[in-house]
Structure 1
Amino acid sequence: MAEKPKAFGERYMVKPGKSFRLADCDPRAANGFSDKDAAKADTVRDAAAIDALQDKLYAEGKRALLVILQGIDCSGKDGTVRAVFNHCGPIGVKVQPFKAPTADELAQDYLWRVHHACPPRGFIGIFNRSHYEDVLVVKVRGYAPPEAIEKRYDEINAFEKMLSDNGTKILKFMLNISKDEQAERLTERIEIPEKRWKFNPSDLEDRALWNDYMKAYEVALTRCSTHHAPWYVIPADRNWVRNAAISRIVRETLEEMNPKYPEPKGWDPKTVKVV
């Protein structure tokens, strides 16, 4: 019997239960997308296929897809949303950015606001940042004690398992940008007037903690890549590679989910006539 071909996403996947080093992941790797124009064309085709599959997912109304985009400043989370999901209509797609928690949110457990934002059945939900901020920035900045953060890896795994068991497919993408590329993009945000609204001086404070963030990412990716919610490390120095890789993985995942338009209930299309 012929061996089943591997899914495209496996080349980017952090294998559950295996050792992992973020330093082994090249932010400029092409991974099969060596031609820029061809990769952009692939992204457009995959985005159109995602749109068609999303329509079926919404009509079916039984399952959801949660796409998590996580990355340090300038890694391209907003650009990924535009390139991969802008073809989809507003019905059945929900984009949720996560900023610093409000006072009301801080009065709850750290997963409370995240659970509230998860996509309902029939929807694709996209998280721009996510609950992983609570084992990344919270860890690096010391906003919670180490013993509390240590518990969160298992809590997050259990939370995602519960979502999975209830019909939500989860894809988690770490947008892996190099420090040199981030410097170029931050400089653009300072020098180009139309981009200055994106710049926050605190971005430079986080940049000074680069090594600490990379260590925190490595721990989170290693401990929270599971069979029900795998992590994918996507080269993000070149936008066209990033977009092409993510759009292909999302498309493959939806094709594997294979949503169907529901059959009519209580009526027969052959017997109904519009007069």
Structure 2
Amino acid sequence: MFRRLIPAALAAIALAAGPSGPAWAQDTIVGVQQFLGAGEATETMARNLGAMVESALVRAISDRGCPAEVVTLDPEMIAKVLKEIELQQSGAVDPATAVAPDPLVANTLVQGVVSQSGAELIYFVEIVSTDGRRLAETSGIHRASDQFGLADRIAGEIAASLCPARSWHLRADYNDLVLDGPVCDITKPFSVPGQGQTAGIVFSFTPTAVGQGTFTLSGTAGGVPWTGGGTYQISTHSMLETGSMVMQGAWQLTSPVGTFGDQATIYAKLTRITCP
């Protein structure tokens, strides 16, 4: 139940009425939706916690020196958009003459649900872009008597996800391929050279959105030229200094006896570093 945070119609607001999702933190405008209680007894508490998270998130983002912006979502505007979307989906309105719903100001939404078990609060919070991508999620258990502390905890984890560390060491091993090197800003285009038998090959990465992008490979190894490319996704732990990258692509090498190709999924480990 914790993963069904908003009704389908509210999800439609995010998908149909919102602007495209953020590219990186400098383009991120965050709106905290009203938190939901897992039952009538926790509805008021959940709403209050959501408001506290919004305030704490402003501080947490500022403390990290992050350029993301936090805005307050207007419940009346959300209700208006919801009504318009429901009307259009009912078939009662001609799509050719239908009025487009007003866009949401935010391009990134924070959604949460909270339940209580005795003296403990159980929470699940997710961050989604308004183009439908799930960017991050966090969950846990916290003392019910310390809601301000819980708000700070959730806000800190959200800020860490929206404004991730940028400097990492990347290591990947796939058959004879070894990638090993520092990446001082993972939010900008970067490259990592091959090592060992694949020295001479360079993987060049270009971010296209939060935690994802495309890559190309080029160069000469073993006396033959290599070409190829694909896509990648990055996942970093908001509290630990580790992460991972998954690359999916294809490549080929051209030798005097012919052209040979391969395709694969390559897993890389990310370890937090400090660049000069």
Category of TM-score, reference length = shorter chain: under 0.3
Larger strand proportion of the pair: 2
TM-score with structure 1 setting the length: 0.24
Q: Which has the larger radius of gyration?
A: 2
Larger helix proportion of the pair: 1
TM-score with structure 2 setting the length: 0.24
**Structure number with higher relative contact order (C-alpha < 8 Å, ≥ 6 residues apart):** 1
